[in-house]
Amino acid sequence: MDHCHRPTGKENGQPTPKPNDSSGRVRTTVVIGLGAMVLIAVGISFVPRLQNGGGWPVASSRAVRSSQGPLPATPPSPSQPESPLTTESIEALLADLDQAVQRKDVEAVLRLIAPDAVIVIRMKQGPHHQTALLTREDYRKALAAEFAFPSANDFSRSHTTVSPASDERSAKISFKTTETLRHAEREFTVEGEQTLIVTMRGDKPVIVSLERDVPGDPT
């Protein structure tokens, strides 16, 4: 965190104790939901979500730009007006996303996400909630680790709701996901939730905000 006080090794002439591992700094692989979501998040801060609704935690310097929200889209050329966001274009994007996840194709997923997209991962483990703000490159690594975990290749999406904006330029999309994972000769059904903000850029819809709620390891 760029504006936080960083220990220098001494405070008032006395050695400063090293921060406890429970501070939430993630420097290694974090396995979420029995491997359903793996964050390779070197330099990303995992901090408990405030219980009083006080807002999102501050991300590390690598994700500061994302925390400021998506950058404004490039104004369309007068000769190439942007197309409205239609039901058909939303369904096509979701179908492409489903197929990319089912193929475990990281790059195909990322092609649907804007370079300046805001990506938030929330992990729920019992009464504890943790939140991470990722860059697009962080998410690439997370997907690669997730897709590498053994599964029954039965990913599915359900309970999809679409809420278009009145200007027909963007929409909020929410859905649930299920997948069977395999670990030590056992199978586990992992459920998650995603919320996307999709907007038109040029003649195609892109994801400018992605939030994922994933369960923590119940063991």
Residue pLDDT, tens place only, 130-148 = 899 999 999 999 999 999 9
pLDDT at 60: 37
Residue 166 — left, alpha, or beta (φ > 0 → left; ψ -120 to 50 → alpha)? Answer: alpha
**CA dist 52 to 48, 133, 195, 199, Å?**
12, 19, 22, 31
**CA dist 10 to 5, 6, 25, 149, Å?**
13, 11, 21, 43
pLDDT more than 70, % of the chain: 61
129 compared with 102, residue with greater pLDDT: 102
Domain ranges for the chain, please list them: 21-50+80-215
Q: Which residues, other chains included, contact 61 with Cβ-Cβ below 8 Å and sequence gap of 6+?
A: 1, 2, 43
Alpha-carbon span 82 to 112, nearest angstrom:
17
At the top level of CATH, which class does the domain 21-50+80-215 belong to?
Answer: alpha beta
pLDDT at 214: 82
Give 26-73 pLDDT, tens digit per residue.
Answer: 333 333 443 334 443 334 444 433 333 333 333 333 433 334 444 455
